[in-house]
Structure 1
Amino acid sequence: MLAILGITTPIFLLIGLGYLAMRLRVTSREQMQGVSTFVLYFALPALVIRALTEHPLEEVVHLGYLLAYGLGSTLVFAFALLLTWRWQRQPLTTSALHALGMTASNSGFIGFPVALMVLGSPAAVFLALNMLIENLLVIPAALILAELGSQRGASVGAALRQTAQRLARNPILLGLALGVTLSASGLSLPGPLYRVVDMLATAAAPAALFVIGGALFGLKPKGMGRDIGQIVLGKLILHPLAVLAMILLLPPMDPMLMAGALLFACAPMISVYPLFGQRFGVGDITAAAMMVTTLASFITLSLAIWLLSLAGLLPG
């Protein structure tokens, strides 16, 4: 267990440094936003491009992984909608944000750094696969439903157009498109340009963790125990279990792929979750849920790594 804490502790210490930098006013909210912009628009796209161009496309696209992670996420998303919208009679917008919090992992800022320390370089390939599922399936579904719930009488077509326009400007998806194009064509980046991409990609993990810590500063749960508890349990327990169930039901998968899918599923929700919440009027719940989930994930990620190690799914 000490070896496992040796993996997870540095990650959460980096998160703590970001929090401490904000608390001691070493950095401001605006400066932290600048680091976040750097990670989102430069470092993470570069990481995805590097992962896709270092391997032939057939070694990167794992249909079994996409099916297991995608179906598991879809099941949890549907369950969250049933629970909040149908059974608890909450508004569709609120229900969509609950479902998003339970299924959209923070693959870039937490999932990748954890998987990198546990699995090594394949973590970047898993990041690219997860970005496909989250940016093309989970996030669009939640935003479309939230738009429909917030605008009575709004058409599905209008919601789809708005979501498609946002996705077309998503830097991660642009990086994915470029990386897939280069990998499929067999072309490679010129040496100097590749070195720039490599330097940006290397900066992604520590900068991302620092940003998460800064984002946690100032978030306070306020008497929303039921909603927060549902989202936390859904993300950290139900989502990994659903992905595991799909892995076991589908044809056998390489142990490395299984470990990658489960580690990413164990990550807390995306860092922009509170921003989506603010936009749709549930900012307090989403911010508090992200704080509690991120802190609790120190325990659940450590437990997941221990269980994966016992199952013999981690490299020796």
Structure 2
Amino acid sequence: MNTLFNVLLPVFLVMGFGYLAAWRGLFNEGAIAGLMKFAQAFAIPVLLCMQMARIDVLASFHPGPLLAFYTGAFLSYAIGMVLARLWLKRSPADAAAIGFCCLFSNSLLLGIPIMERAYGPGSLDGNIAIIAIHSPLLFTVGILMMEIARNRGGGIGAVALNAIKGVFHTPMVIGILCGFVLNAGISLTGHDLPEPIWAAMKMIGGAGVPAALFGLGGVLHKYKPEGDGRAIAMVVICSLIVHPGTAYVLGRWGAGLDSAGLRSAVLTASMAPGVNAYLFADMYGAAKRVAASSVLIATAVSLLTIWAWIAILP
């Protein structure tokens, strides 16, 4: 019970405050969009840059947590896409969008603050390693699968190239790459950045997660849970049980992870689908109602499932 109150509730209360502000009209859509733009395009990339610049790259990029996390992610994707197509009889494009909802966990906006509150700031190296390839890898795979589903076979090579270019132009990926460059520069030269620069980066980066959580609450207010109950339930089960469950089994008995690696893989995998899952569906006009409702409902249900995974983890 202490975990629920001390670790999870503060994170969800900030989101709830944003939801309440949007619901009561105290924070309109334009303000929410501006806040999320600041968080996702400026503050969080700076935070990721700082984290990447200061971690021990060789120690953090251990293959075990990455294998456990991404095996669970792609298994969830396969289950969601295949069942959406064969069981729910959705179109290929809808199936690809529903699969992406099962695939794309909210590893950053929820995963980072919950991990930090549960295990401390020193526990984030494994999470940062997962996040470093999360968006580039999953968006590239998702876009390719959607293009295949939409029968653009002849242009797959060009689509793949454009997808990769687009991913590496996103602010969060740029922040991660800048962190890599800083890390390498500091290691090779032995000279750190001046303290005022670190202090300024800390101020900007420190505002990112609270602002994003508040804005995420406002964004979720737009998503009304309606219809498509079986598809939504499938996304919730894949995201909150299949993905972290696979990561736990592989991490504990397959890869033989230590406690820190197991926590990073499983807790990051236990996050609900991120808002990017809806943005992906909206971009292609496929299964938008399923995606929107799944993000909202899975985020609410994850308050209990994340609590359970923290209790299970060593």
Which of 290, 294, 311 is the matching residue for 1:306? 311
Partner of 1:247: 251
Alpha carbons 1:268, 1:297 under 8 Å: kept: yes
What code does the residue aligned with 1:306 have?
A: A
Say if 2:237 is the partner of 1:233: yes
CA shift for structure 1 position 123 = 4.3
- 1:13-55: CA deviation from partner (whole Å, max 9, x where unpaired): 1011000111121111111111111111112111212112223
Report matched runs for 1:139-218 at 5 Å: 139-150=139-150, 152-185=152-185, 186=187, 188-218=192-222
Partner of 1:37: 37
- Distance in 2, Cα, partners of 1:249 & 1:70: 16
Say if 2:300 is the partner of 1:284: no
SS of structure 1 residue aligned to 2:108: helix
CA shift for structure 1 position 197 = 1.4
SS of structure 2 residue aligned to 1:272: helix
Structure 1 pair 44/206, CA: closer, same or farther in 2 (3 Å)?
Answer: same
Which of 279, 289, 297 is the matching residue for 1:275? 279
SS of structure 2 residue aligned to 1:79: helix
CA shift for structure 1 position 292 = 0.5
Alpha carbons 2:139, 2:167 under 8 Å: kept: no
- Distance in 2, Cα, partners of 1:251 & 1:276: 32
Partner of 2:260: 256
Structure 1 pair 34/127, CA: closer, same or farther in 2 (3 Å)?
Answer: farther
- Distance in 2, Cα, partners of 1:36 & 1:123: 26
Which of 8-17 and 49-58 deviates more? 49-58
Which of 284-293 and 144-153 deviates more? 144-153
What code does the residue aligned with 1:210 have?
A: F
- 1:282-316: CA deviation from partner (whole Å, max 9, x where unpaired): 221111111111111111111222222xxxx2xxx
SS of structure 2 residue aligned to 1:22: helix
Report matched runs for 1:69-148 at 5 Å: 69-148=69-148
- Distance in 2, Cα, partners of 1:251 & 1:16: 37
Alpha carbons 2:124, 2:264 under 8 Å: kept: no
CA shift for structure 1 position 280 = 1.6
CA shift for structure 1 position 190 = 2.9
- 1:226-271: CA deviation from partner (whole Å, max 9, x where unpaired): 1111111110111111111221343321201111211111111122
CA shift for structure 1 position 87 = 5.0
Structure-2-length-normalised TM-score:
0.92
Say if 2:310 is the partner of 1:293: no
- Distance in 2, Cα, partners of 1:156 & 1:164: 12
- Distance in 2, Cα, partners of 1:8 & 1:137: 28
Which of 12-21 and 188-197 deviates more? 188-197
Say if 2:50 is the partner of 1:50: yes
Structure 1 pair 40/126, CA: closer, same or farther in 2 (3 Å)?
Answer: farther
Alpha carbons 2:248, 2:266 under 8 Å: kept: yes
What code does the residue aligned with 2:207 have?
A: A
SS of structure 1 residue aligned to 2:273: coil
- Distance in 1, Cα, partners of 2:122 & 2:67: 18
Aligned residue pairs total: 309
- Distance in 2, Cα, partners of 1:27 & 1:272: 21
Alpha carbons 1:97, 1:146 under 8 Å: kept: yes
Where in structure 1 do 4 or more consecutive aligned residues deviate above 6 Å?
none
CA shift for structure 1 position 160 = 0.5
What code does the residue aligned with 1:44 have?
A: I
Partner of 1:64: 64
* Structure 1 residue ranges without an equivalent (≥5): none
SS of structure 2 residue aligned to 1:108: coil
- Distance in 2, Cα, partners of 1:207 & 1:244: 31
Partner of 2:225: 221
- Distance in 2, Cα, partners of 1:61 & 1:152: 36
SS of structure 1 residue aligned to 2:109: helix
Structure-1-length-normalised TM-score:
0.91
Alpha carbons 1:46, 1:175 under 8 Å: kept: yes
- Distance in 1, Cα, partners of 2:42 & 2:24: 27
- Distance in 1, Cα, partners of 2:96 & 2:241: 19
What code does the residue aligned with 1:247 have?
A: G
- Distance in 1, Cα, partners of 2:312 & 2:147: 39
- Distance in 2, Cα, partners of 1:266 & 1:287: 18
What code does the residue aligned with 1:230 have?
A: M
Alpha carbons 2:76, 2:238 under 8 Å: kept: yes
- Distance in 1, Cα, partners of 2:127 & 2:56: 16
